[in-house]
Chains A and B, each alone.
Chain A
Amino acid sequence: MSALFLQQVLNGLLDGVYYLLIALGLSLIFSLGGIVNLAHGAFYAIGAYLTVVLARFIDFGGALVVAPVGVALIGIVIERFLFRRFYREDPILSLLLTFGLALVAEQTLRIIFGAPPLSFAIPQALRGQVFIGDFIYSFYRTILLAIAVGCIVGLWFLLHRTAFGRVVRAGVQNPDMVGALGISLEPYMAAVAGLGIGLAGLAGVLLAPIYSIHPAMGQEIITPAFVVVVIGGLGSFWGVVVAALLVGLAKGLMVAAGYAQFSTAAIYGLMLLVLLFRPRGLFGERIQRFE
Chain B
Amino acid sequence: MATALPTLRRNWLVTMRAYQWTYFVGTLATGILTVGLAYLAFHAIGGGRAGGGFAAAAGTADYLGYVTVGAAASMFTVRMVLWVAKAQITEQREGTLESQVLAPARRLPYLVGVGLQALTTTVVEVVVMLAFAIMIGVRLPAPDPVTLLAAFVAASVAVFGISVPLSAIMISVGEAHITQNTLFVAMGLLCGFTFPPAYLPDPLRWLGEALPVTSALRALRAATLDHAPLSVAAPDLLLCLALGLAYLAVGLRLLGPAERIAIQRGGSA
* A and B from one complex: no
